Amino acid sequence: MATSSSDKHNPISSPPLQDRVAIVTGASRGIGRAIALHLASLGAKLVINYTSNKVQADLVATEINSSFPGSTPQALTVQADVSDPSQVKSLFDIAEQFFNSQPYILVNSAGVSIAKITPVADTSLEDFDRILRVNTRGAFLCAKEASNRLKRGGGGRIILVSSSIVASLRPGNAAYAASKAAVDTMVKILAKELKGTGITANCVSPGPIATDMFFAGKTEEMVEKAIDECPLGRLGQSEDVAPFVGFLATDASEWVNGQVIRVNGGYI
Domain boundaries, the chain: 15-263
Q: What is the mean pLDDT of residues 23-41?
A: 97
CA 235 to chain centroid = 19
**pLDDT confidence bin for 1, thresholds 50/70/90:** very low
DSSP H or E segment with residue 202:
strand 200-206
pLDDT of residue 12: 55
User: To which CATH superfamily is domain 15-263 assigned?
Assistant: NAD(P)-binding Rossmann-like Domain (3.40.50.720)
Find the length of the chain. 268
Tell me, yes or no, if 176 is annotated catalytic.
yes
**pLDDT confidence bin for 116, thresholds 50/70/90:** confident
Contact status, residue 159 vs residue 106, Cβ threshold 8 Å: yes
Give 55-114 pLDDT, tens digit per residue: 999 999 999 999 887 778 999 999 999 999 999 999 999 999 999 999 999 999 999 998
Share of the chain above pLDDT 90, in %: 82
Mean pLDDT over all residues of the chain?
Answer: 93
Give 226-245 pLDDT, tens digit per residue: 899 999 999 989 999 999 99
CA dist 1 → 10, 12, 127 (Å) = 16, 17, 60
